[in-house]
Amino acid sequence: MIHVRGLARRFHTRRSTVDAVTGVDLDVAAGEVVGFLGPNGAGKTTTLRMLTTLLEPSAGSAEVAGHDLLREPALVRRRIGYVAQGGGCSPHGRVREELVLQARLHRLDRDRARRRVDELMDRFALTDLADRPTASLSGGQRRRVDLAVGLVHDPAVLFLDEPTVALDPRSRAHVWDHVRSLNAEHGTTIFLTTHYLDEADALCDRVLVIDHGRIVAAGSPSELKRQVSGDVVEVGSARPSAVAEIAGRLPGARDVTTTATGVRFHVPRGDTALPELLPALVLAGVSITSVQVHRPTLDDVFLAMTGRPLHDDTQEAPVAA
């Protein structure tokens, strides 16, 4: 359903040149839910905007929903839906009005538009909100309207950019349910960007991990986690560098990273590492506030691939020479 080869985008600003996406290859089969996971500035939105015909690639080729992205952009647009980070509907319209307008913009005749809007309002639990101005809706309600707008022309592929950013946990869970049922009942192919690991884990059949504009790992969430062997140990302490030094001496310890409040590292087995670590910390007079051992998460996958945690928001895309 989506086939991409060597897709790249370079931005020229007054001061520099930014290689936002540097040669992405990817394939998405019909009916898959694929997550594009990466930190801020990794190139997720830029890739999505290219795949939805909103931004011209600097290089590469792609086929989306059976049509060539560069030669047949209008045909691509007809077969895809796109829900941008900020949504797409006017803040001045009312819910039903806005959906009908969008349906008419997609050239559905009056009757088909009405039927389609009723169906979507029912699916996304919007019927009670039909006459509410979209500006008065809560974040979660608004996101449901955005999803309905993206689906009004019954697209084969739905692109979602950070679908649950800034939503409370309950609204996030609702959006996840809607995405799942859309895929299960309707077979819609879904390509979403996220920097939430739990979202990628919970929703996606397959995850593509992007960093600095290139894909660094791809696979199902469980395949990716299996690539990172051993256990992860997290220790809370006011003296992270002292803990890190001692942890680094444990047999097989690797990927030791410190934050302001603690240390995280990998060991072959957490259950045998702790009885060595704890007495060593006591002996050195280093007190700790917590200790946890767990199996690798997608964050550990990212760390293993890039050498830094996913939620390190200081990262920028590489600047071209």
Ligand X SMILES: Nc1ncnc2c1ncn2[C@@H]1O[C@H](COP(=O)(O)OP(=O)(O)OP(=O)(O)O)[C@@H](O)[C@H]1O
Residues that bind ligand X (CB under 6 A): 11, 13, 18, 20, 38, 40-46, 195, 316-317
How near is the Cβ of 143 to ligand X at its closest, in Å?
16
Q: Tell me if 34 sits within 8 A of 191, measured CB to CB.
A: yes
Q: Tell me if 163 sits within 8 A of 175, measured CB to CB.
A: yes
On the CB side of 98, how many CA atoms lie within 13 Å of its CA? 27
Strand partners, 206: 34
How near is the Cβ of 310 to ligand X at its closest, in Å?
11
How near is the Cβ of 292 to ligand X at its closest, in Å?
27
SS (H, E, C) 275-299: HHHHHHHHHCCCCCCEEEEECCCHH
Alpha helices in the chain (DSSP H): 44-51, 73-79, 95-105, 110-123, 139-150, 169-186, 197-203, 221-227, 240-247, 270-283, 298-306
Q: Which is nearer to ligand X, 195 or 264 (CB)?
A: 195
How near is the Cβ of 52 to ligand X at its closest, in Å?
13
DSSP labels for 96-132? HHHHHHHHHHTT--HHHHHHHHHHHHHHTT-GGGTTS
Cα 152 to Cα 133: distance, rounded to the nearest angstrom:
19
How near is the Cβ of 163 to ligand X at its closest, in Å?
12
Q: Which is nearer to ligand X, 42 or 190 (CB)?
A: 42
How near is the Cβ of 73 to ligand X at its closest, in Å?
19
Cα 254 to Cα 266: distance, rounded to the nearest angstrom:
5
How near is the Cβ of 53 to ligand X at its closest, in Å?
16
Type of residue found at 50 = M
Q: Which is nearer to ligand X, 56 or 316 (CB)?
A: 316
Q: Which is nearer to ligand X, 95 or 203 (CB)?
A: 203
Cα 215 to Cα 60: distance, rounded to the nearest angstrom:
15
